[in-house]
Structure 1
Amino acid sequence: MPALTIPFLPMALFAASLSLAPGPVNLIILSTALNHGVSAPLRFITGATVGFTALLILTGLGLSATQALPDGAVDVISCLGALVILYFGYGLLRAEGTLDTRQIPVPGFWQGAALQWMNPKAWIACLSGVALFNLQGKTLELMQFSALYFIVCFCGIGAWAVLGHNLTRLLNTARRRRVLNIGLGLCLMVLALSLSAPALLRLIGLD
């Protein structure tokens, strides 16, 4: 088995800070666990982790957005991702706050994986991580970093499921749950618009 050739602690801290930071993926996990239980977002968490890790590996191997895709393709992907995030946000806005939460969608594995590829935050994290640790074309170091990131990412975004589940103890009335669902829905919609705004401006030629 090859020896560890990467700066473990700095990479782990980098992965943890980005995985734990609020973002569309984490807010979807939080809302899913809040409304459906701690195990409900597990497939979405797994898909998001796999999707991000695959994007990180391809980025490190040289298939970055500017190299692998035609002009404007990443911007189109970002806008499509924003539509997915808006869909989840709208679902939360419509939720009544009752214990019957069947109207709130439970995201699955492929939604989590696809959303990472459509998430500008994930692209920035991959590109900055590869550049920061000088991993471009270094296959062994890249694979070690990707394996480390997989573990940290799974635990980091999974922590939001635990948080959502624990919040159910405080949100024991329909009114409280309704207020939080509205807040999370609005946050998701604002995030979707803010993340996709630069891409949309470029596509319509205003940037």
Structure 2
Amino acid sequence: MDQTAAMALFALTMSISPGPVNLITLSTGLNLGVRNALGFVSGATAGFTLLLFSIGLGLSAIAQRYGFVIDTLTFLGAGLIVYFGFKLLTSSGDLNEGDHTKPSFWQGAALQWLNPKAWGACIAAVGLFELDQNRTTLYFFVCLYCVICFFGIGSWAVFGSQVERYMGTPNRRRLLNRFLGGTLIFLAVFLLWQQFVR
């Protein structure tokens, strides 16, 4: 497999795999439709791309030198994930009630910088493809990842909008929202557990 194919496969796998960003995108697609999820998807893509570029330029070395930086980011990220989880848990499931606030571009971007999964993916990519050794390769990979990331995260919004067809009643949507909200809160606790307890 050539390096470009390996890079594309890595980007697709990391972008489409379940995580906090994709669960929020799924719930937005379910409750508000694809169009209303695009701002968050764009922000998450931009945030991840900027994080990848920054780590490729050496940000991870600074963060590792000052351990409190990663701890602080993990704590803030868990708080933001709990916020989204709580919003889903308390949602009525009725699409007409207006209790579904659209996550913003900036929330998507910030969540990537506060998401340990995103940091792990960026650090792994920089090491795996030696992006810190060759700026041309770094630029290429960042551009490739940006495109794949947008479609990977966006696919969760499309999936959510398709699931909405089968969630015809507010009760069914409420159950799914509670499941997604509980899953997000569990993920936040798990991230904190991994960072501070293990």
Q: Is the TM-score greater than 0.5?
A: yes
CA distance in 2, matches of 1:174, 1:104: 13
Letter in 2 for 1:97: G
Deviation at 1:80, TM superposition (A): 0.4
CA distance in 2, matches of 1:49, 1:174: 31
> 1:48 corresponds to which residue?
44
Aligned with residue 178 of structure 1, among 164, 167, 174: 174
Deviation at 1:101, TM superposition (A): 4.7
Deviation at 1:137, TM superposition (A): 3.3
CA RMSD of aligned residues (A): 1.4
Letter in 2 for 1:53: T
Structure-to-structure mapping, 1:1-207, within 5 angstroms: 7-64=3-60, 66-68=61-63, 70-201=66-197
What is the TM-score when the length of structure 2 is the normalising length? 0.95
Letter in 1 for 2:83: Y
Structure 2 residues without counterparts, runs of 5 or longer: none
- Once the two structures are superposed, residues 52-101 of structure 1 have per-residue CA deviations (whole angstroms, 9 ceiling, x without a partner) of 0111111111121x424623111111110110010110111111111225
Letter in 2 for 1:185: G
Percent of aligned positions that are identical? 48
Letter in 2 for 1:160: W
> 1:204 corresponds to which residue?
none
Deviation at 1:115, TM superposition (A): 0.5
Kept in 2, the 8 Å contact 1:49–1:150? The answer is: yes
CA distance in 2, matches of 1:101, 1:110: 25
Deviation at 1:33, TM superposition (A): 1.1
- Once the two structures are superposed, residues 170-206 of structure 1 have per-residue CA deviations (whole angstroms, 9 ceiling, x without a partner) of 00011111110011001111111111223334xxxxx
CA distance in 1, matches of 2:135, 2:82: 37
What is the TM-score when the length of structure 1 is the normalising length? 0.91
Q: What SS does the corresponding residue of 2:67 show, helix, strand or coil?
A: coil
Structure 1 residues without counterparts, runs of 5 or longer: 1-5, 202-206
Deviation at 1:135, TM superposition (A): 1.3
CA distance in 2, matches of 1:148, 1:120: 21
CA distance in 1, matches of 2:115, 2:101: 19
